[in-house]
Structure 1
Amino acid sequence: MQSTVKEIIRQFREELSPIYNVHEAFQFVWLIFDHLHGWTKTDLLLRDDTKLTDSDQLFVENALERLKNHEPVQYILGETEFFGLPFEVNPSVLVPRPETEELVEWILESVKSDKPLRILDIGTGSGCIAVSLARHLPGAIVTAWDVSSEALKVAEFNARNNEAVVSFVQKDVLTTTPEEMEGYDIIVSNPPYVREQEMELMKENVLNHEPHLALFVKDHDPLLFYRHITRLAAVSLSADGLLFFEINRDMGRETVELLSENGFREPELRKDLSGNFRMLKALGPA
Structure 2
Amino acid sequence: MNASFNYIFDRLCMSYPASEARAIARLVLETRFGLTPIDICMGRDRTFSLEERRELENIVKRLSQKEPVQYVLGQTDFCGRTFSVAPGVLVPRPETEELTEWIIQDEKASGFSSPDILDIGTGSGCIAITLSQELPQAQVSAIDISTQALAIARKNAERLGAAVDFRCQDILDSPSKDQDSPLWDIIVSNPPYVCEHEREDMEENVLRYEPSQALFVPDHDPLLFYRAIGEYAVKTLKEGGRLYVEINRAYGWETTRLFQSLGLRDVTLKKDFYDNERMIRCRK
TM-score range, shorter chain: over 0.9
Structure 2 match to 1:82:
78
**Identity across the alignment (%):** 44
Structure 1 residue 279 corresponds to structure 2 residue 279: yes
CA distance in 1, matches of 2:43, 2:33: 12
Structure 2 match to 1:167:
165
Structure 1 residue 62 corresponds to structure 2 residue 66: no
Amino acid at match of 1:179: D
Amino acid at match of 1:222: P
Where 1:268 maps in the other structure, the secondary structure is strand
Contact kept in structure 2, 1:13 and 1:21, CA below 8 Å: no
CA distance in 1, matches of 2:62, 2:214: 22
Any gaps of 5 or more consecutive residues in structure 1? none
Q: CA deviation at 1:235?
A: 1.1
Structure 1 match to 2:149:
151
TM-score (normalised: structure 1): 0.94
Contact kept in structure 1, 2:233 and 2:243, CA below 8 Å: yes
Where 1:55 maps in the other structure, the secondary structure is helix
Matches within 5 A, 1:234-249: 234-249=234-249
Q: CA deviation at 1:115?
A: 1.8
Structure 2 match to 1:205:
205
CA distance in 2, matches of 1:124, 1:200: 26
Amino acid at match of 1:45: C
RMSD over aligned CA atoms reads 1.5
Q: CA deviation at 1:47?
A: 4.9
Contact kept in structure 2, 1:130 and 1:143, CA below 8 Å: yes
Contact kept in structure 1, 2:179 and 2:236, CA below 8 Å: no
TM-score (normalised: structure 2): 0.94
Aligned residues: 280
Where 1:39 maps in the other structure, the secondary structure is coil
Contact kept in structure 2, 1:256 and 1:267, CA below 8 Å: yes
Q: CA deviation at 1:46?
A: 3.0
Identify the match of residue 33 of structure 1 among 24, 29, 36: 29
Amino acid at match of 1:119: I
Structure 1 match to 2:17:
21
Q: CA deviation at 1:268?
A: 0.8
CA distance in 2, matches of 1:245, 1:139: 22
Any gaps of 5 or more consecutive residues in structure 2? none
Deviation digits for residues 109-136 of structure 1, max 9, x if unmatched? 1111232000000000000000000000
CA distance in 1, matches of 2:270, 2:204: 28
